[in-house]
């Protein structure tokens, strides 16, 4: 569904079930962009969405 809508997908599961391999292969076959984010306790929302910085120069 996300593929048709141009959205994002979140896969959850126990380690070692080939989630990353599945996504990398799927995106490679379809010529799509793949990016992985490792969620850690110190991860901030801005680490995922990015930020805007005002340059006063």
> Structural domain boundaries of the chain?
2-38
Q: What is the DSSP letter of 33?
A: -
With CA atoms as reference, report the closest residue to 47 among 55, 56, 35.
35
Q: What is the DSSP letter of 50?
A: -
Neighbours of 1 (CB within 10 A): 6
Q: What does the radius of gyration of the chain's CA atoms come to, in whole angstroms?
A: 15
Q: What is the DSSP letter of 17?
A: S
pLDDT tens track of the chain, all 57 residues? 677 777 777 888 999 999 989 888 988 998 888 888 888 999 998 888 888 889 988
pLDDT at 17: 93
pLDDT at 1: 64
pLDDT at 41: 93
């Amino acid at each position: 569904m996300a593929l048709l809508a141009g959205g994002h997908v979140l896969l959850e599961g126990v380690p070692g079930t080939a989630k990353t391999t599945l996504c990398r292969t799927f995106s490679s076959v379809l010529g799509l962009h793949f990016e992985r984010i490792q969620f850690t306790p110190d991860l901030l929302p801005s680490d995922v969405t990015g930020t805007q910085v005002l340059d006063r120069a």
